[in-house]
Amino acid sequence: MENLYKEEFCNIYKEHVTREGGDRLLSWLSTTDFFTAPASTKFHCACEFGLVMHSLNVYKVLRGKYFEEGDSEESFALCALLHDVCKAQFYKISTRNVKNEETGAWEKKPYYSVEDAFPYGHGEKSVFLIERFVRLKPSEAMAVRWHMGGFDESVKGGSFAISTAFDKYPLAVKLHLSDLEATYLMEHGTSEARKH
């Protein structure tokens, strides 16, 4: 299963991302757990390969619904495929005791927890990691930075910067809507944690 998601991701990436440093960014991703990590601890795609699966789903929604004449294939691929790169090396697998309702016995079950070694925010961290290799255009940086929309911690804290970003950069709105659709519609029921 992993190879199929990784292969699809790499094919899309290599077809559309031609910017300087793009090959080094893809090589770096392979040194992380990006292609095997979950996308969350217990919500959408809280399963092995969940992060790459989610990234592909966001790309498919963004490209399929929102691509218009004049839009950049490279921008769409970079933003959708890498918006959650901040989640690489972010989760760890632990175990906890769960009672088996049929037998009454306690069993060890795996679960995901957060171990954030670089607490730099969410969208901010993704922008930072991408820009270690590839220079983003302002519209791309804004899209990745604000893809969480109202769930972003600074927005919850009262920041109004997102309104300006959404007003000025349509790509930011398109990426946020694609992320919502992938998370809450396409990936509903994809959490291993909610099955136990």
Domain ranges of the chain: 2-88+119-195
> Over the stretch 99-144, which tens digit does the pLDDT of each residue have?
888 998 998 887 788 888 889 999 999 999 999 999 999 999 999 9
> Over the stretch 154-190, which tens digit does the pLDDT of each residue have?
888 888 999 999 999 999 999 999 999 999 999 988 7
Q: Which residue's entry shows tokens 């899209």?
A: 143
Higher pLDDT, 192 or 6: 6
pLDDT bracket for residue 196 (50, 70, 90): very low
> Over the stretch 9-27, which tens digit does the pLDDT of each residue have?
999 999 999 999 999 999 9
What is d(CA 132, CA 111) in angstroms, rounded to the nearest whole number? 31
Please give the model's pTM, rounded to 2 decimal places.
0.89
> Over the stretch 51-74, which tens digit does the pLDDT of each residue have?
999 999 999 999 999 999 999 999
Tell me the three-class secondary structure of the chain, residue by residue: CHHHHHHHHHHHHHHHCCCCCHHHHHHHHCCCCCCCCCCCCCCCCCCCCHHHHHHHHHHHHHHHHHCCCCCCHHHHHHHHHHCCHHHCCCEEEEEEEEECCCCCCEEEEEEEEECCCCCCCCHHHHHHHHHCCCCCCHHHHHHHHCCCHHHCHHHHCCCCHHHHHHHHCHHHHHHHHHHHHHHHHHCCCCCCHHHC
Structure tokens at 87: 């989640």
pLDDT number for residue 167: 97
In this structure, the number of other CB atoms found within 10 A of the CB of residue 157 comes to 7
CB-side neighbour CA atoms (13 Å) of 90: 23
pLDDT number for residue 1: 54
> Over the stretch 137-157, which tens digit does the pLDDT of each residue have?
999 999 999 999 988 888 888
